[in-house]
Structure 1
């Protein structure tokens, strides 16, 4: 085992902390480094080449900190940058390291949560426009009907701590109604952005009780546990002292304040300067 070999977790902002929380609860023995690229967030409406560039810079930085394995806890980065990084950059620069995303683990299990065979995906414009969920779900459950809805106002509402205020109700109703209007048979809705679990109280009030709402945290955590069990050569390389470190490219006080809401406990972050 290496002296310093944490699991890296990356997101463009705060949302990945909901995934980090679930992973740390599921796999508490490991060391972790979280990096939020808050200075350049949100990624959702950025073009492919910009998202790829930003994501690769963050992956490079996490590897420079000793990470052997990185989770892209960001749907936009997973949709628009992961495959290129896995197929082009890792073989050339980091052949023994791994980068995993959040889309495939969800696509592998979503079919088990629907009886009507109609599911909804709610995400950023970048994630929806990429079509990544449509492609991945088709691989595992070709019989499913998948309907997508972009929710461009949700991340700004959440990151400005307005997500539980009455004013957020308008945008919750607007996007949820637009999704359900595509097919009244939808009985499972995936929150395909790691910010969105903070809206769960409002979403549960709006959606009919027969609709299952899936958040990605526990799904990704269980998938990671399975991955490590199937790859003991990687698992043995990871350090296990239960250390958690938080880094942000943005303002430290804002990250500590807002990030604590996402992570579920008080956190103290460090500043990182990205190229």
Structure 2
């Protein structure tokens, strides 16, 4: 096993994880990062558990091969459908000293700090919603909270096609908000359970009742990662601190770079990774 220090790996099925990486870099700018977007096989939201697990494990192994000791799944679908199996079955065989962390648990750990009504809504992809990961994880921490979910299959295409400021976006944002809120008028906290959705946050907030709190996962995960590294200095010691960022995509680099800038809010120059 390579004992050298290595970058922190951040994986997503496409672009959305860049909204998370952006917040992680703000919180922990000293570390080196490698971002891997599996754009060539995105989206993951409608794929089976087995397919998402296979794709995610393959990408995690690539990040390990690039020297990462710690990998963050900045993808709700991958966290919902692949994380537990990778942690329990694969890591002990690959290298028990490496770690793979997801995006769902940090969110569910703190959601109870925001809701007064104990009625929480989740916006997510079909894959995340059908996995029931959010209701299951929230119940572990807050058994008195009732969770309502709404799949939003049109939101990712709106973002990736740069239509998130259009009138069409307003229609579909209002549609899914209405479908969620009709389940319970007492929902006072909503989690954006997909890393694409922060780009829609301003419009979503406009269509929500003024007393509803909207939670984006980037700041939550960045705070959680900082806390994790403070609690696990042995892992922090394995993470290199050169402040570099390297981006990989499994699809066309020119397209990735053009789109990635929207999510990361900085110029991105990526490299191609063949799977």
Measured against the shorter chain, the TM-score band is over 0.9
Which structure 1 segments of 5+ residues have no match?
none
- CA shift for structure 1 position 146: 0.5
Structure-2-length-normalised TM-score? 0.98
- CA shift for structure 1 position 4: 4.8
Distance 1:205 1:240 in 2: 40
SS of residue matched to 1:200: helix
- CA shift for structure 1 position 251: 1.1
Query: In 2, are the aligned partners of 1:252 and 1:269 still within 8 Å (CA)?
Result: yes
* 1:216 aligned partner: 217
Distance 2:4 2:260 in 1: 28
* 1:109 aligned partner: 110
Distance 1:40 1:220 in 2: 25
Distance 1:197 1:168 in 2: 13
Matches within 5 A, 1:51-130: 51-130=52-131
Distance 2:82 2:189 in 1: 27
- CA shift for structure 1 position 254: 1.0
- CA shift for structure 1 position 2: 6.0
Q: Does 1:157 align with 2:147?
A: no
Structure-1-length-normalised TM-score? 0.98
Matches within 5 A, 1:1-275: 4-274=5-275
Query: In 1, are the aligned partners of 2:4 and 2:238 still within 8 Å (CA)?
Result: no
Cα deviation 1:105-137 (Å, max 9, x = unaligned)? 001000011111101000000000000111100
- CA shift for structure 1 position 8: 0.1
SS of residue matched to 1:240: coil
Which structure 2 segments of 5+ residues have no match?
none
Query: In 2, are the aligned partners of 1:51 and 1:80 still within 8 Å (CA)?
Result: yes
SS of residue matched to 2:243: coil
- CA shift for structure 1 position 25: 0.5
- CA shift for structure 1 position 3: 5.0
Query: In 2, are the aligned partners of 1:114 and 1:187 still within 8 Å (CA)?
Result: yes
- CA shift for structure 1 position 169: 1.2
Distance 2:252 2:209 in 1: 39
Over the residues paired in the alignment, what is the CA RMSD in angstroms? 1.0
Distance 1:2 1:17 in 2: 28
Runs of 4+ in structure 1 deviating by more than 3 angstroms, as ranges, are 1-4
Distance 1:2 1:156 in 2: 41
Aligned length: 274
Q: Taking structure 1 as reference, are residues 232 and 4 closer, same or farther at Cα in structure 2, changes over 3 Å only?
A: closer
Q: Taking structure 1 as reference, are residues 249 and 260 closer, same or farther at Cα in structure 2, changes over 3 Å only?
A: same
Query: In 2, are the aligned partners of 1:118 and 1:187 still within 8 Å (CA)?
Result: yes
